[in-house]
Structure 1
Amino acid sequence: MSFLTDHVVVDGVRLAYRDSGSGEPVVFLHGTPSHSYEWRDVVPHIEAAGHRVIVYDLLGYGLSERPARRDTSVAGQTDLFGHLLDALGVEEVSLVAHDIGGAVALRFALAHPGRVQRLMIMDSVSYDSWPSPTWRRIIDEELDSYAALPQEEFDALLTRQLSMTVADTSRMSGDVLRAYLAPHASRLGRTSFFEHQVRHYDARYTQEIAGRLAELTMPVRILWGAEDQWQPVHYAERLRDDIPGAELVVVPDAGHFLMEDAPGRVVHEIRDFLTATPVS
């Protein structure tokens, strides 16, 4: 159910990715609990619009390697992202980033402003917006026991969480739901979810850059689902106010995974952003 096509070894670890199309490069960064499957209805349209599109599974996610000893936090993913660009021979990119991918993109843009031409942030974790009280309790008290859940109980837990990511719950069912659950359909997959994802839900990675957002000078558009239950719109408004010149677009009838609720609108906004903000 993945549309990734290749694998590359970067800084000693294997990443699953897709690099297709031609023209100005655009990189898509996914969130959690997710993998690059979330971009399946978006990426082909951006490729068709004349862009080179790179999308990959973060380390420990999807089809990428799940290493026993490697930092898969937002900070670790940010460092690895830079190595991936180097491996693919890409110097400057536009970024489209969702959820924790948004935190990776913001950190990378602050650390390497000359490499980011444009930045679109979608329903991103920010400031103190994460983890939710449920995930915080699991991290603090019960992570090891949850990592040992039987498959049926794990699937029920993650299904409940995934149902909260969309405004229209019918969109998170059937083959789509199975695709989101698929990377965790084994003991390794379940353990990896808690070790590589949940264990690293930590607001310090966004809090420590909160005071630096005014340093961003590239064009920034913030795209947000009006019905996002995990990242309320007031965080989007705060980002807009803290990032100079940032635009905010709130999509009605869309939740945290707005690319599931409103893929056509997401495609329109990305294409408009890439063409309406020429690189100087």
Structure 2
Amino acid sequence: MTLLTGNIVVDGVRLAYWDQGRGMPVIFIHGTPSHSYEWRDVVPHVEAGGFRAVTYDLLGYGRSERPVDRDTSVAAQTDLLAHLLDALDIDRADIVAHDIGGAIGLRFAVARPERVRRLMVIDSVSYDSWPSPTWRRIIDEHLDDCMSMSQEAFDDLLTRQLAMTVADASLMTGDVLRSYLAPHRSALGRASFFEHQVRHYDAKYTEEISDALGRLTMPVRLLWGEEDQWQPLRYARRLSDAIPDADLVTVPDAGHFLMEDAPARVVEEIRNFLAAP
């Protein structure tokens, strides 16, 4: 299943996106190693709750363009988000963001607070929390070699990583696993994964906004899986302490891909947060 219903050209690049419903716009930003597929059990329910739901594949991810000469770092993706909102004629929106999407959401809220009504961050990278130890080892020892690996070796590597994203390993199997692997089922897909995603796993993008988090004034909710192996709960608590009046909600028996372990709970938390006075 894919949420995406079309394509839009934004700042000279093509993004695959979904834009459905009426009401306050809610922008969903996915993480890595992922694409908008991760929101499939969440976005339609938020839309049904009376919101305009927008999600998209980040540049270089999923079904969006994979440019050979364009920056796809967290900083560049943050700038591109502003262009996307402009293209969709959205002045102000709620943002729900996961993993590196959380870094994009936080950077956007720091740089353009007037455009963010509410911000929910789900199992986000922050401070020096990323890359995780396993990804750091891949980057340090094998990044250049990984770009030329066989499809079988790539699938094995990414499958091992994806298995770490859920508390219930049985959820990351079968059609679900194949859907997460699907954008990389070619030489271009494999190379793009390392160039557009892994090469930009860099904590500088979160560390450089750390001192600015205390200036955020919009309502912020942090939603976290208690069994997250990549972004430990201590980082959620650190963010909660840094962001004024931030609300931290933890979900037991759930990992980094909270939308896989507990989709109904994610929908409930989002709808309650967005509807709060």
Relative to the length of structure 2, the TM-score reads 0.99
Return the offset for 1:144.
1.4
CA distance in 2, matches of 1:152, 1:139: 19
Return the offset for 1:2.
1.7
CA distance in 2, matches of 1:23, 1:186: 39
CA distance in 1, matches of 2:148, 2:106: 34
Question: Partner of 1:54 in structure 2?
Answer: 54
- Describe how 1:22-33 pairs up with structure 2 within 5 A: 22-33=22-33
Return the offset for 1:198.
0.1
CA distance in 1, matches of 2:40, 2:138: 31
Counterpart of 1:11, as a letter, is: D
SS state of the match for residue 75, structure 2? helix
Question: Partner of 1:265 in structure 2?
Answer: 265
CA distance in 2, matches of 1:51, 1:273: 13
CA distance in 2, matches of 1:144, 1:129: 23
Return the offset for 1:275.
0.7
Structure 2 stretches of 5 or more lacking a match?
Answer: none
SS state of the match for residue 106, structure 2? helix
Question: Partner of 2:3 in structure 1?
Answer: 3
Return the offset for 1:132.
1.7
How big is the alpha-carbon RMSD for the aligned residues of Structure 1 and Structure 2? 0.7
Question: Partner of 2:192 in structure 1?
Answer: 192
Q: How many residues align?
A: 277
Return the offset for 1:145.
0.6
Do residues 124 (structure 1) and 127 (structure 2) align? no
CA distance in 1, matches of 2:132, 2:120: 23
Do residues 204 (structure 1) and 204 (structure 2) align? yes
Return the offset for 1:134.
2.6
Return the offset for 1:45.
0.5
CA distance in 1, matches of 2:6, 2:90: 17
CA distance in 2, matches of 1:274, 1:42: 14
**Superposed CA offset, 1:102-143 (max 9, x none):** 000000000000000000000000000000223223323321
**Superposed CA offset, 1:57-83 (max 9, x none):** 000000000000111000010000100
- Describe how 1:1-280 pairs up with structure 2 within 5 A: 1-276=1-276, 278=277
Relative to the length of structure 1, the TM-score reads 0.98
SS state of the match for residue 236, structure 1? helix
CA distance in 2, matches of 1:275, 1:138: 42
CA distance in 2, matches of 1:103, 1:24: 22
CA distance in 2, matches of 1:142, 1:160: 15
